[in-house]
Amino acid sequence: MLAGRDLERVDAAAARGRYRPGMRALILHGPGDLRLEERPRPTAGPGEVVVEVDAALTCATDAKILARGMHPSLGPVPVPFGHEGAGTVVEAGPEARAAVGDRVVVANSAPCGVCEWCDAGREGLCADIVYLSGTYAQYLWVPARIAAVNLLAIPDGVDPALAALSEPVACGLRGAERSAAAAGQSVVVLGGGLQGQVICAALARRGCEVILCDPHPERRALAVRMGAAATEDAPRDADGLARVRAMTPEGRGANVTVAAVGAVSVWETAVALVRPGGEVNLHGGPGPGEVLGVPAGPVHYGEITLQASYHHTPATFRAALTAISAAPELFAELLGPEIGLSEVAQVLAAGGQKRVVRP
Ligand SMILES: [Zn+2]
Ligand SMILES: [Zn+2]
């Protein structure tokens, strides 16, 4: 393990482009324990590829995983960490569907394509899904299934950091795709993080009247550029709820509400703001053991549909890269400043705001 002065020396050498004995990688060892280590460079077997990572992205999901020290998708620790990234293929195994020199973005999973859920177009629920982890490193090993199903060529001129947004954007597009919101209908999106912004943009594009609620003024301003018809502070009490409800048609709530934050209190707010006959989409991932408490009467007598959206599908992953490539300036607003591998732990400890990691 590298620490203190060693780490500073390695960072300085890497900045000069001179440090390549193996590779530098962030390895998750347990709760709050993320270490920058020197590891052997991966090699590619049949169908597999190795990607030199040009850009990885930090993510609130990684912040949660680091705090808990594990995730079902990762397997036992110690394990390479990071799940959003793009780069250049430097090694391709026999029969791999990519060639050395290709600029690519990889998803953090790939479905089997044959189970009941894959068959139904709900590949995020695949019973035999394969996950990828390890984008916080100089080199990333891509399993054969992911290389075959969810490795995409980055269009010319698109920055790899932008392309790396394809995974989180694909999750947001999945959230929008799950919603029955129709053109002209009212939608309230709770939360102006990346997921809320992408869902806002997708539903506004569909012709919905989106009201995005978030406590941060800069996120509300971004939502307007993403297509929101109106924005408002996040409702935290009865007054806040009344304020947002008053913005919906006849003050009777929105046709569709989306909780784009993984907090049960926000999920409950989403239920409180939907109109009779409407739909609530629970999108942000809650913590383990959280329990949703909603008033049963309004759900029953209002025929409210409660649904959820999780992860992404190969189709939304492709749609995400297409959308990003078509509007790079807009999506660039979702990226934060650049950092090095040694700063990732600090960013994740602070909640995992989007940062571009240049390994
Ligand atoms: Zn993510
Ligand atoms: Zn499957």
The bound ligand whose nearest atom lies closest to the alpha carbon of 110 is: 2
230-232 vs 130-131, strand pairing mode: unpaired
Element (H, E) at 33: strand 33-39
Spell out the residues 6+ positions from residue 257 whose beta carbon is closer than 8 angstroms to its own.
187, 188, 189, 190, 270, 271, 273, 274, 278, 279, 280, 281
By the 8 A CB rule, do 106 and 151 touch?
yes
The bound ligand whose nearest atom lies closest to the alpha carbon of 194 is: 1
DSSP code at position 313: -
Mean pLDDT is lowest, of 3-7, 220-224, 228-232, for 3-7
By the 8 A CB rule, do 321 and 133 touch?
no
Q: How confident is the model at residue 72 (pLDDT cuts 50, 70, 90)?
A: confident
More confident residue, 68 or 4: 68
Cβ neighbours, 10 Å, residue 98: 24
The percent of residues in the chain predicted with pLDDT above 90, rounded, is 88
- The Å distance, Cα 284 to ligand 1 centre, comes to 12
Question: In the sheet where 209-213 sits, what is the strand order?
Answer: 230-232, 209-213, 186-190, 254-259, 274-282, 305-308
Cα separation, 257 vs 38, whole angstroms: 46
pLDDT at 303 over 60: yes
- The Å distance, Cα 253 to ligand 1 centre, comes to 31
Tell me what the mean pLDDT of segment 126-132 comes to: 96
pLDDT at 8 over 60: no
Cα separation, 352 vs 359, whole angstroms: 17
User: What's the pLDDT at 21?
Assistant: 62
Tell me what the mean pLDDT of segment 236-255 comes to: 98
The bound ligand whose nearest atom lies closest to the alpha carbon of 117 is: 2
DSSP code at position 249: G
User: What's the pLDDT at 120?
Assistant: 97
109-110 vs 338-339, strand pairing mode: unpaired
3-state secondary structure of 55: strand
3-state secondary structure of 328: helix
Kindly list the distances between the CA atom of residue 297 and the CA atoms of 24, 241, 291, 302, 303, in Å, as whole numbers in the listed order: 55, 18, 18, 8, 10
Residues paired with 92 in a beta bridge = 49
Cα separation, 158 vs 321, whole angstroms: 10
The bound ligand whose nearest atom lies closest to the alpha carbon of 167 is: 1
Distance of alpha carbon 207 from the chain centroid: 24
- The Å distance, Cα 248 to ligand 2 centre, comes to 39
Cα separation, 186 vs 268, whole angstroms: 18
Cα separation, 246 vs 2, whole angstroms: 56
The bound ligand whose nearest atom lies closest to the alpha carbon of 132 is: 1
Q: How confident is the model at residue 286 (pLDDT cuts 50, 70, 90)?
A: confident
Cα separation, 275 vs 265, whole angstroms: 18
Domains and CATH numbers, the chain: 4-170+312-357 (3.90.180.10), 179-308 (3.40.50.720)
Helix (DSSP H) and strand (DSSP E) numbers for the chain? 14, 18
Cβ neighbours, 10 Å, residue 283: 30
Angle at 53 between CA 47 and CA 57, to 5 degrees: 115
Cα separation, 223 vs 75, whole angstroms: 37
By the 8 A CB rule, do 37 and 2 touch?
yes
Residues paired with 257 in a beta bridge = 188, 280
- The Å distance, Cα 161 to ligand 1 centre, comes to 13
User: What's the pLDDT at 3?
Assistant: 45
Cα separation, 127 vs 42, whole angstroms: 27
Cα separation, 129 vs 149, whole angstroms: 11
Cα separation, 91 vs 43, whole angstroms: 7
- The Å distance, Cα 91 to ligand 2 centre, comes to 27
DSSP code at position 101: T
pLDDT at 299 over 80: yes
The per-residue pLDDT for range 196-219, each reduced to its tens digit, is 999 999 999 999 999 999 999 999
- The Å distance, Cα 194 to ligand 1 centre, comes to 10
